[in-house]
Structure 1
Amino acid sequence: MTKPPRPPRSKPLLRDDGGPLQSRPIRKRNPAQPALPFDPMPPRVEPALALLKQKPPPGDDWGWEIKWDGYRLAVHVEPTGVRILTRGGYDWADRFPGIEAAARSLGPASMILDGEGVVLDEQGRSDFNGLQNSLGAVGRRSGNLTAGNAIFMAFDLLYLDGHDLRGLEYRDRRHLLEETLAGFGGAIRLSEEIDADPVAILDHACRLDLEGIVGKNRNSKYQSGRTGDWVKLKCAQSEPFLIVGYEPSTGAYGGFGSLLLAAYQGDDLRYVGSVGTGFKERPSVALRAMMDKLPWRRKAPPVAYEGNRRVVWVQPTLIAEIEFRQWTPDMQLRHAAYKGLRDRQDNADVFRLDDDEGR
């Protein structure tokens, strides 16, 4: 005998009039309502750094461009405004008003651009001294701490409209960067890739008195620190060091004959030699005045020192940009020349022997 069908366990939803309940029609999205991002914008990204090499790596998977001589910056274009972060994490948007204004005009897209803030000379080369005159000792004495003529050379794109791009290969990030800056001029510019043999590019860069070139592995994802995915080849090395003392001199600009320098090694400072050339009169006078106003001056050196010079030791606070040719076997600077004074606030740039010793 066939069983009768089982009654339904539940009754269909009914309206008061007995008809079935219908879904409400979906309303169209209000364009004024903000869209939720796919990925939250990171508040800060530790930059990828280039590993110093004596010759280019083999293979064709490398993109090459000019090495710019200025301040490493990350431009954050956000719904609430623009931030221009230094390598140390300080917001210097007020110091780069031209770059800040240009970044605003890139909106309403949200993005993070990685690049270098520079001042160009008449030949179109980056001029660190020109940038330092605005942001360093001379600018401070005049009360002007802005570089209105600075431009931002963008060489990577880390975030775009809700998408964190750090997981993409460099070739894809570069393509998106070129699309984002296509036709855009002014204080934000694309750092152009040069399609040529890197040895020939470096030779040409050195003949033009440029600092060197940078190569990036097109297959690499964006990783903070020196991983080897980015490399740099230099015509002459240039790095920031802490000033730990000076050698007085009555016959030299500013009243000092040389500066004694130190780099970080772990959490400690290590003496790396001195610099006695490259000084100009006005910046030297300003530098001596700054050193004499430092709150800590005493006979004991802040670093291990075995020399017999007559030295005035100072608090290791001021950061000097030094150009040099090479290191001695005992890690002292050879053929060093003073280029300018970096801002004390951005001490993340100070050279670390841990990163480069032995290379």
Structure 2
Amino acid sequence: MASGSKKASTKAKENRAEGGRSSKAARKLPKWREPQLATLVDTAPEGGQWLSEMKYDGYRALIAIGDGTARVYTRGGKDWTDRFAQIAAAAAELPTSGTLMDGEIVAFNSNGRTDFSSLQKSLSSGGDMSCFVFDLLEEDGKDLAGEPLTERKRRLKKLLKSKNGPLLYSEHVEGDADKVLQELCSAGHEGIIAKRDDRYRSGRGKSWLKVKCSKRQELVIGGYSLSDKPARPFASLLLGAYEGDELIYRGRVGTGFDEDTMDKLAKLLERRARKTSPFAEVPANIARSVRYVTPDLVAEIEFTEFTAGGSVRHGVYKGLREDKEAKNVVLEKPRGG
């Protein structure tokens, strides 16, 4: 077990030994379960049955508490407790056991907004991170997935009331989803997640909807174009998304990199060099001056729109999505709200 995990476990045991924060009997560590996912739509839903939360720009995480420790899992079930040691240690201090929480791990930029690029830097440097917790799936050994969202959040708010550290309760607004969206977009945030006051259902469905202020898409890196500037290891990244088993070319991105990010990416790309294209097809005028790589890196890209040919326009690189499998990356198309 790595140092971060040991700290979280030790802290929880100390609390029980002192008769302090944790008054609950020790219960088993809950197992990871597939999280509920939101469906992308163009417009905010109407009606008072919808609860609107801010859409955070970070890593989705499930936090399990039990057996004297706390574990942090990614959306896909990877155990990243060591990478999120601050979050695990804070969770281990909560007065509960046999508990499973759902949230988003974030870092804040200089403007006080959650920012994926800032989170990437915090992960690399060991900087501060927080977690907005927005759901409670199990508490003290009881499965709450069948309870309405408002009841789960009531319990969650009570549980987190004693915490002022990196675990933050995710506030919501009932009704007025469009108004909430407009206010958040005006303030420079990413968008909203609108949720029906309903049970928790693993997988993607339409009882959770996401509405974005700007377009964002996860895309697979399949190559890069060369730069004519000596200090720049590449000019742009070649991006794609899967349709079935084929990686379809979706354009390039050449902005959003600082010097440190570019150097780290260059090393990752060099280790993945290959002679053949991983794409089903690449435009001939682009293919003449590119280098291809094994397509197992996933990038978060912000852009204005897709061109008529299906490529991103005015793309900006935001960071690598290490919690996503490249083979699962497909174009996310809005559905009717």
TM-score, with structure 1 as normaliser: 0.79
Which of the numbers 188, 191, 194 marks the counterpart of 1:215? 194
**Which AA in structure 2 matches 1:305?**
E
1:190 aligns with 2:169: yes
1:115 aligns with 2:96: no
Asked if 2 retains the 8 angstrom alpha-carbon contact of 1:243 and 1:259, the reply is: yes
Deviation at 1:357, TM superposition (A): 7.2
Matched residues in 1 for 2:328 and 2:116: separation?
A: 16
Q: Which residue number in structure 2 is paired with residue 162 of structure 1?
A: 141
Query: How far does the alpha carbon of each residue in 1:228-258 deviate from its partner, in whole angstroms, 9 at most, with x for none?
Result: 1111111112232210000101228632221
Which of the numbers 32, 48, 52 marks the counterpart of 1:44? 32
Q: Which residue number in structure 1 is paired with residue 280 of structure 2?
A: 304
**Which AA in structure 2 matches 1:167?**
G
SS of 1:229's equivalent in the other structure is strand
Which of the numbers 268, 278, 288 marks the counterpart of 1:290? 268
Deviation at 1:76, TM superposition (A): 0.4
Matched residues in 1 for 2:133 and 2:114: separation?
A: 14
**1:70 and 1:44, CA in 2 relative to 1: closer, same or farther beyond 3 A?**
same
Query: How far does the alpha carbon of each residue in 1:57-79 deviate from its partner, in whole angstroms, 9 at most, with x for none?
Result: 22210111111000000000112
Deviation at 1:103, TM superposition (A): 0.4
Asked if 2 retains the 8 angstrom alpha-carbon contact of 1:98 and 1:148, the reply is: no
Asked if 1 retains the 8 angstrom alpha-carbon contact of 2:42 and 2:335, the reply is: no
Q: Which residue number in structure 1 is paired with residue 239 of structure 2?
A: 261
**Which AA in structure 2 matches 1:242?**
V
Deviation at 1:350, TM superposition (A): 5.3
Q: Which residue number in structure 1 is paired with residue 227 of structure 2?
A: 249
Matched residues in 1 for 2:230 and 2:280: separation?
A: 26
**Which AA in structure 2 matches 1:55?**
T
Aligned pairs for 1:330-341 (under 5 A) are 330-341=309-320
Which of the numbers 274, 281, 284 marks the counterpart of 2:252? 274
**1:266 and 1:180, CA in 2 relative to 1: closer, same or farther beyond 3 A?**
farther
TM-score, with structure 2 as normaliser: 0.84
SS of 2:82's equivalent in the other structure is helix
SS of 2:97's equivalent in the other structure is coil
Query: How far does the alpha carbon of each residue in 1:313-343 deviate from its partner, in whole angstroms, 9 at most, with x for none?
Result: 1011222111122334553323311112232
Query: How far does the alpha carbon of each residue in 1:85-127 deviate from its partner, in whole angstroms, 9 at most, with x for none?
Result: 0012111111112111110111343211101000112433102
SS of 1:101's equivalent in the other structure is helix
Which of the numbers 180, 190, 195 marks the counterpart of 1:201? 180
1:356 aligns with 2:333: yes
Structure with more of its chain in strand, by fraction:
2
Matched residues in 1 for 2:129 and 2:114: separation?
A: 10
**1:92 and 1:338, CA in 2 relative to 1: closer, same or farther beyond 3 A?**
same
**Which AA in structure 1 matches 2:208?**
W
Aligned residue-pair number: 310
Matched residues in 2 for 1:109 and 1:88: separation?
A: 23
Asked if 1 retains the 8 angstrom alpha-carbon contact of 2:29 and 2:97, the reply is: no
Asked if 1 retains the 8 angstrom alpha-carbon contact of 2:47 and 2:175, the reply is: no
Matched residues in 1 for 2:325 and 2:91: separation?
A: 25
1:87 aligns with 2:65: no
Deviation at 1:347, TM superposition (A): 2.2
Which of the numbers 98, 120, 139 marks the counterpart of 2:86? 98
Asked if 1 retains the 8 angstrom alpha-carbon contact of 2:39 and 2:335, the reply is: no
Which of the numbers 45, 48, 56 marks the counterpart of 1:60? 48
**1:35 and 1:192, CA in 2 relative to 1: closer, same or farther beyond 3 A?**
closer
Deviation at 1:281, TM superposition (A): 2.1
SS of 1:251's equivalent in the other structure is coil
Matched residues in 1 for 2:191 and 2:231: separation?
A: 30
**Which AA in structure 1 matches 2:154?**
H
**1:187 and 1:357, CA in 2 relative to 1: closer, same or farther beyond 3 A?**
closer
Q: Identify the range of structure 1 (320-329 vs 44-53) with the bigger mean alpha-carbon deviation.
A: 320-329
Matched residues in 1 for 2:25 and 2:161: separation?
A: 25
Identity across matched positions, percent:
38
* Poorly superposed stretches of 4+, deviation over 6 Å: 34-37
SS of 1:322's equivalent in the other structure is strand
Asked if 2 retains the 8 angstrom alpha-carbon contact of 1:260 and 1:274, the reply is: yes
Matched residues in 2 for 1:348 and 1:273: separation?
A: 16
